[in-house]
Structure 1
């Protein structure tokens, strides 16, 4: 785990480097045994779990800086993706902060989840950054998922418009949606 500094704004957030995602491997990718709709649940009330509601409120509070962090990830990789955060995971060296992972479309399509794939495939990279918060079931075989669309601040869009446009021009024209239904 380490802090990634965004050159676009003074935005520092913890990255889990996969540690926050590791316990969710079965819930994300176990398509041989269970369909996506049985593994990834979208309609749970976030207020039923304090970790989730607190994390979602914090994301809203820091959304301009977190948006800059996500924009930095997009511009570095030049591929559609989103920030993911496990509501249960905190790095040992920084237990007060959530830790994020950037997953690209190619890393998400094997989930066979329509909402994840369509969200990442079709969001407007010029104006938004996506953040997905998940909470695993006790067994680790399924998860509840919440999506937040962060609007990029105007100053970022103006300052980095040329870089965003250039990166956007290199994106695929179509992103197939893979389903297990």
Structure 2
């Protein structure tokens, strides 16, 4: 019996050391050496203070800011742990709404979001949550429909806000993958810096 257990125990210890210790340390070291910004969460700083991540959206709600996609994430209800409450952009609880295109609840939510924006029809990414609920980007069209509101709230000409939006449009990855997009956090930081 010991002859059968010994190889099993040796292999368990060996693979635990290789896959549980050596491999993670090697990958962490490579990531820190080759791409430390990404390995540390793609954090965005303002001065010496971390204000967010390039990869996780934030809930901007004021009229002076470009608003991101709705977020379907939730968190435990502080009053009753068996229930959840809306917690926009909660990275600890990434999830989509799981509502299908024929869902009445989805249609009602989209109509309510469009009405809140003051639009009969709005770009899809302003009225639907992303699959993760954390998407930091919106389409250039979704940013452009907000230009008038932001310009009015900041007391500047819409052309100045529009120019800032145009400067923050990111192209397709490798020139062919994905769609052009705008990082909402980067744009809102630029708005505060250029048009306070």
TM-score computed with the length of structure 2 as normaliser: 0.28
Larger Rg: 2
TM-score computed with the length of structure 1 as normaliser: 0.30
Higher relative contact order (CA 8 A, sep 6+): 1
Q: Would you tell me which structure has more strand in proportion to its own residues?
A: 1
